[in-house]
Amino acid sequence: MCGIVGAVAERDVTQILLEGLRRLEYRGYDSAGLAVIDEHQTIQRSRVKGKVQELADTFSENPFRGRVGIAHTRWATHGEPNVKNAHPHICRDIVALVHNGIIENQETLKKELISKGLEFYSDTDTEVIVNSVYLALQEKDDLLDAVFKVCEQISGSYALGIMSKIDPDRLIAVRKGSPLVIGVGVGEYFIASDVFALLPVTQQFIFLEEGDIADINRDQLIIYDAKRNKVERSINISRLNADVADKSGYRHYMLKEIFSQPVAISDTLEKRLNNKLIANNIFGEQSDEIFTKIKSVKIVACGTSYHSGLIAAYWLEEIAGIQCHVEIASEFRYRNSVISDNTLFVCISQSGETADTLAALSLAKQEGFLSTLAICNVAESSMTREADLVFLTKAGHEVGVASTKAFTTQLVALYLLVISIAKQHGLSKADEAKMVEDLQSLPGRVNHMLQYEDEIKTLAADFADKHHALFLGRGSMLPVAMEGALKLKEISYIHAESYAAGELKHGPLALVDKDMPVIAVAPNNHLLEKLKSNLQEVRARGGRLYVFADRHSNLNNSDGLEAVQMEADYDHTAPILYTIPLQLLAYHVAVIKGADIDQPRNLAKSVTVE
């Protein structure tokens, strides 16, 4: 995780670095720092525990200037968040370095370096790199050669920005296993963990490839590939907008993002429908042709994106009659899975940079899948560059760590995928038209669900003093319950579990008492009566129920049962609708608890380390 920014320019780069860090703060926010080489060719550094604003405040009290610099916002992996562990790390005032990733052989390297007299001041794995570069410099006398050498010694994942006072106009950038882009300016170059960080200074980007090392001066950029051959990498013009997302009057980004779901959904549908049917090849060139061959689908993702995949599996088997397996990326990548013929691999990711999902995609590309498809919210991400087929959700920049609009737009994308596949496997035009109609009415229906906010806010007060909560659902509502539980624990720090309601009596019922609120999603479908029986089991044990129900579900407020009766007629898109009240519930519980909603403790928006 962590975010890296760096710059080599004719002008002072400190404000560019700070702005870059602000824009990367979603990647980690437990400490931050920046360093430059100043006019006296001395390395100057400022570091804080806490957020980028605290770094900006500290820096403004003791400012310095420099035309070459590196900066970092941290999400701790090795060593607790504090100043000594914050990057940049420096060795003997000669080399400074920022790192995103994990060095796996750091223990062995550290012992060797200590035996050679090098000092360690932090608990990070990063310090072995900066010390190793320093040591290699004693031998090689050239920063690039020293970095080449060190990259052969370290193993793990790393994006690096490195500078040294022995060569004060130079910045070396390394990409291996963690993302890094180069921004191309006029007589200046920048590096960053993503494009968004650099949009205020350039629209032109070079995406480094795996194993690349870039040697950057103000007027020259040379890139070496993993075999250390000089290579040309093309310049891409970004179409992203530099505007920093603002809260548009909402108290938190998360609330703004919850309320922007109707727009995000209609943007995601735009140009994907044609004459009340699904447009052709919306998943990429010849995707419809590929879909005719599909016998099964494998979906791989993490967290919220995994939950969207679970819902898609219900749809795919029910609507298209195609077998579907869904797996957590960190599991998939380390086991020998059996891949049957003509299986489509689908990875889902908001960021397109999640390390486990990215590794799963790379593995899938070697494993004989029919094709690979990435469903992603970031156009210029590693995943969209790597997959054979790509579908971009159009949720817009999601700032809140707790994913909301990315989830519902993923579901829209997945529903479009299921219909597109089903079309190639005998779905009638009439059924397709009905599903498209449901999709087209979705923005309006989601908007309607948002109107229950006040009612949900009132319920949220009951949760503020609770330590545990249980979420129940059946069928495609089970992943909705899982997502509701994840949202609540992420931002309000209440321990929340989710269960298939039918599983209750097989164990979790033992937990139920008056202090364990039980939340259920109850659309008016074929499972409603079964669910009602499960809810009776809770009430009979003194459990307090909070049910989000269709107004026709006949679930009314009574002793021990609070029902939010919603206008939410059932069709396949119901999981999207029923997600909304659970997002609002988690949000309002967190507000009452005074939690840091957009940047919850211990988490980062984009998990770019294992």
Catalytic residues: 2, 605
Interface region with ligand AGP, contact rule CB under 6 A, candidates 296-304, 440-448, 540-548, 577-585: 296-304
Q: Let me know if 270 is exposed, middle or buried by CB neighbors in 10 A (0-12, 13-18, 19+).
A: exposed
Interface region with ligand AGP, contact rule CB under 6 A, candidates 14-22, 303-311, 507-515, 558-566: 303-311
Interface region with ligand AGP, contact rule CB under 6 A, candidates 240-248, 399-407, 463-471, 536-544: 399-407
Torsion of the alpha carbons at 410, 411, 413 and 418, rounded to the nearest 10: 140
Closest to ligand AGP by CB, 272 vs 307, is 307
Tokens of 114: 């200590």
Q: Does 308 bind ligand AGP (CB under 6 A)?
A: no
Q: Which of 157, 238, 343, 354 binds ligand AGP (CB under 6 A)?
A: 354
Q: Does 357 bind ligand AGP (CB under 6 A)?
A: yes
205, 196 contact by CB (below 8 A) = no
**DSSP element (H, E) containing 442:** helix 442-450
**DSSP element (H, E) containing 268:** helix 261-269
Q: Which of 305, 372, 476, 579 binds ligand AGP (CB under 6 A)?
A: 305
Q: What is the largest CA-CA distance in the chain?
A: 79
Q: What's the closest the beta carbon of residue 360 comes to ligand AGP, in angstroms?
A: 11
Q: Does 194 bind ligand AGP (CB under 6 A)?
A: no
Q: What's the closest the beta carbon of residue 602 comes to ligand AGP, in angstroms?
A: 11
Q: Does 261 bind ligand AGP (CB under 6 A)?
A: no
Interface region with ligand AGP, contact rule CB under 6 A, candidates 182-190, 284-292, 297-305, 570-578: 297-305
Q: Which of 324, 395, 597, 607 binds ligand AGP (CB under 6 A)?
A: 607
Give the Å distances, CA to CA, from 455 to 66, 307, 485, 562, 565: 54, 26, 19, 10, 10
Q: Which of 113, 359, 374, 401 binds ligand AGP (CB under 6 A)?
A: 401
Q: Does 303 bind ligand AGP (CB under 6 A)?
A: yes
Tokens of 376: 């992603």
Q: What's the closest the beta carbon of residue 607 comes to ligand AGP, in angstroms?
A: 5
Q: Does 351 bind ligand AGP (CB under 6 A)?
A: yes
**DSSP element (H, E) containing 236:** strand 236-237
Closest to ligand AGP by CB, 453 vs 598, is 598
Phi-psi region of 41 (alpha: psi -120 to 50; beta: other; left: phi over 0): left
Q: What's the closest the beta carbon of residue 115 comes to ligand AGP, in angstroms?
A: 39
Residue least distant from ligand AGP (Cβ): 303
- Residues in contact with ligand AGP, total (CB under 6 A)? 15
Closest to ligand AGP by CB, 131 vs 579, is 579
Residue 183 bridge partners (DSSP)? 190, 205
Interface region with ligand AGP, contact rule CB under 6 A, candidates 11-19, 107-115, 242-250, 351-359: 351-359
Q: Which of 164, 260, 304, 583 binds ligand AGP (CB under 6 A)?
A: 304
Closest to ligand AGP by CB, 302 vs 555, is 302
Q: What's the closest the beta carbon of residue 305 comes to ligand AGP, in angstroms?
A: 4
Q: Cα separation of 356 and 607, whole Å?
A: 8
Residue 362 bridge partners (DSSP)? none
Q: State the amino acid at position 168 in one-letter form.
A: P
5, 37 contact by CB (below 8 A) = no
Q: What's the closest the beta carbon of residue 304 comes to ligand AGP, in angstroms?
A: 3
Closest to ligand AGP by CB, 302 vs 472, is 302
Starting at the earlier edge strand, list the strands of the sheet with 189-192. 43-49, 31-37, 68-74, 3-8, 189-192, 181-184, 204-207, 236-237
Contacts (CB under 6 A) with ligand AGP, residues 477-516: 490
Phi-psi region of 573 (alpha: psi -120 to 50; beta: other; left: phi over 0): alpha
Give the Å distances, CA to CA, from 282 to 18, 371, 569, 592: 39, 15, 28, 43
Q: Does 302 bind ligand AGP (CB under 6 A)?
A: yes
Contacts (CB under 6 A) with ligand AGP, residues 310-349: 349
| Strand, coil or helix: 49 | strand
Tokens of 46: 């400022």
Nearest to 553 by CA among 573, 535, 580: 535
Q: Which of 77, 100, 606, 608 binds ligand AGP (CB under 6 A)?
A: 606
Nearest to 164 by CA among 82, 250, 92, 263: 92
Binding site for ligand AGP (CB under 6 A): 302-305, 349-351, 354, 357, 401-403, 490, 606-607
